[in-house]
Structure 1
Amino acid sequence: MPASTPQEIAREAVKRLAARKLPPTPENFQATYHEVAGTKPLRPFPLENLRHIGAMLPDRTPAQIRFKAQFGKAVTQHSWEDLEKALVNHLKNHSTPETPAPVPTAVPVVEEHSLPADLREQVARIVNFSLPAVGNDDTKVVELAEELVAYLKLDSLHLPTLRKMMADFAFRLSFVAEEQQHIRETLLGLLHTVFENIGAITPENPWLQGQMEALMQATQPPLSTRRLEDVERRLKGLIVKQIEAKEQTLAAQQVMKETLSTFLQRLSQTADSSEHYQQQFEACAQRLEHARSLAEMAPVVQEAIQSARSLALDSRRTGEELSSLRQRAEEAEQEAQRLRDELDRMSEMARHDLLTGTLNRKGMAEVAAREMSRADRGASQPCLALLDIDDFKRLNDRLGHLKGDNALQHLARVAKTSLRPQDAVARFGGEEFVIILPDTSITEAVEVITRLQRELSKQLFLEGDEHILITFSAGVVQRRDGESIESMLNRADQAMYAAKRQGKNRVVAA
């Protein structure tokens, strides 16, 4: 397969130089590069020498000023044709009769049409916008970009020169883009390692585990601002709930401490009171033994009765206080448990997409792993469908991103109601959805997804007074023995793009 990109052309050129045992000089590399690309090398252009000559030209008369300007413009554009034309016209117009100017051999000069101004502006914008995407660390690519943009702003362009400048810029840019891709992959790998280690050192904290899982999901390619914003909102909600749970747990612990302290204090007081009342009763008993008349016995009995009442009152008061403390402790414990349950529920949401309520990538991976394990144990192989909403960008541009989100939610609602109970729906990213169909043949899977298309055509998306038809293209595959989820997704993606090429709103099985 012939090389197509500047990077591939350069690699093939290096291979040919090595095979021919030629030194990798600039001249050899340039010749081999054009040989691989099938293009003709440009004639050498002694830019600095010609600039020096142009600076030395006289400019005392209007004709000399005009010729010097034409000469300088031709040199700036690296154009041999314009340079030759300027010299011929200058000599023709200023030759004398005594010394006629030599008539040059007729050389056809083919003037190439310059690019339209709006197209040059768009190319310059593309060049400028490409630099932030790949970083500005490479001074050479920045220099080439600045030269190319400056050249595009000239009134007229020499197209062979423009082609060479763009080829040089694209060649350098390909290496920078490859390096930036490697840097991004390495950084994501480091982030995953950090997240995994944080989760590994705190296995007893399920809430933190949920946060780490959400971050792991957010840093899975392809990255998008919307996914990162969704995860940011989710993490902020988890953090708020964690703070509330921590405060309630501390409050419950404080109540339990107070209850236990009061209980021990009351026990001590009860013991002291019992000993005090026991002493009183003992004294009353001794006085009754020595009493010789009812008159002597009456005050002793009255004192004993009063002590018994006081003992009963103290016991009832202590019991009521302990009962109140126990109720407070139970209420605090119930509130702490409610918050723990709420956190567990929010941690579980790390497996679901907040916008649509469908599974996210992590939830989809868990379902896929479970169904593949069942299939490996003897069940029939599952099917997988990859859906992509047709013309979603156009819908977003026309209605706005908020309405685009509503359209995604509408599709998710229709999918949940029209699919079979055993089918699992997951948002794969952006406007793409994955449906896992357990124990399903490829023919049945195509019928299920086609039925979903029909339901979408019946249940139109309502935006204001406008009913909007949402369609999707889908690729459907059935798992092969031992096949991974990544391989299934790749085959489904190819089938989905085949459906797009066939006119959209179609289901293609692979």
Structure 2
Amino acid sequence: MTASTPQEIAREAVKRLTARKLPPTPENFQTFYHEVAGTRPLKPFPLENLRQIAQALPEATPAQQRFKSQFGKAVSMHSWDDLERVLSQQLRNQSASTETLAPTPVALAPVVQEQERFPPELLEQMARIVGNALPAVGNDDRKVVELADELINYLRLPEQHPPSLRKLMADFAFRLSFVAEEQAAIRETLLKLLHGVLDNVRVVNLEQPWLQKQLGALIDVAQPPLSIRRLEDAQSRLKDLTRLQLDTKEQMIVAQNAMKETLAVFMQRLSETAANSQQYQQRFEHFAHQLERSTSLAEITPVLQQAIQSARTLALDSQRTGDDLGGLRERAIQAEAQVEQLRLELQRMSDQASHDLLTGALNRKGMAEALERETARAQRSGTRLCLALLDLDDFKRLNDSWGHLAGDAALQHLATVAKTALRPQDALARYGGEEFVILLPDTDPDDAVEVVRRVQRELTTQLFMSGSERLLITFSAGVTQMHSEENFEQAIERADQAMYAAKRAGKNRVLRA
């Protein structure tokens, strides 16, 4: 099939490069691209060199100024024809006058040399960018690692030749593009594989609601785009549940062992009882024969005494067996009760681990964990951490007029709208009642105010429906920056004061503390 689109031509060019085992340099790629397309390669235009020459041209006289302007315009247009025309015209003018075309090479050389030098700070930053790009795409491709090392070493030399530097940069960028594309495909495939495994586990464990919730949380976290905050949040949510699962497993093992022991003792006692019953049966049959043969009271008396003694022994054995089995049964019941208690606790913690059941936002425990992580991150990176306290306006009147179910639905609506309007790094938590807290990492106070106002604007565009009625719900908010030397209570107190100031100012406002 003949390649027709640029993408198809590029793929065919890469295939030919690979088949002929040629390095994927820009020059080789350009050659095969034009070979596949059936076109002629464009003649390279030395833009930078000609610009340097244009800057070095003299402009002492009007004629020199005119020539320099025409030369620079031809260079900016990348036009060989215009350059030829300008130079030809200048040569004709030179033959008719004594004006010099250009300064001597001795004067021009230092200018060109000065233009080709790169600032050392820029070269070092470029070297760091190249070095930091490798971990992002993986170090499995030996060729891209070699190109990166070669480019970094060249950037850190005392002097660089611009054409050589451009070639090294082009080779590295070309190879890096293939590696980045491959890594993106690998990440996408791994996520699909993870989703498939989680879905299968969830399907075969429908009878375990707590496991369903954990798997659902993992599936949500594994949705692109991935972020370290979402992964840390999932890790925190599952930590307590994992510990409780281990405790449950240990208790289930204890319960199973108790049941096994009970069954073993029961079988042993049953066997002993059967054996004893046979022995007693034979003994009582012997007593019966003796009684049949007895002809006097003297002969009957000892037989009756032995029979009574055997009956007492049988009763004691039966009672002891019953006591043993009863004790084992009690142990089994206690172990089973402990397992059931742990199962219920696991279910409760699964529901209430870090998220509010009504709104799906973080609860206070989840907020505390997120705050601890973001505070530590802000201290490490030297960035700012802000928080906002939100309170629904006229929430009591909403409850009184439309009922508590409508009030709950309004809280759910606010949380849903806020999640869509907030940035990926922000965290929403229900602080209590109709109050919510938003953590805003890497954000200065003015930007934090704008983020919360964006939530307000989004809330006005998505009206809340209570039955068939459309209701406009609003909130007032206070925003403040957390300082490294203070705790959460001190920061939330400032935000609370700003929030009440917003309510006094007319509600549906965001004020900065």
Q: TM-score, normalised by structure 1?
A: 0.49
Structure 2 length normalisation: TM-score?
A: 0.49
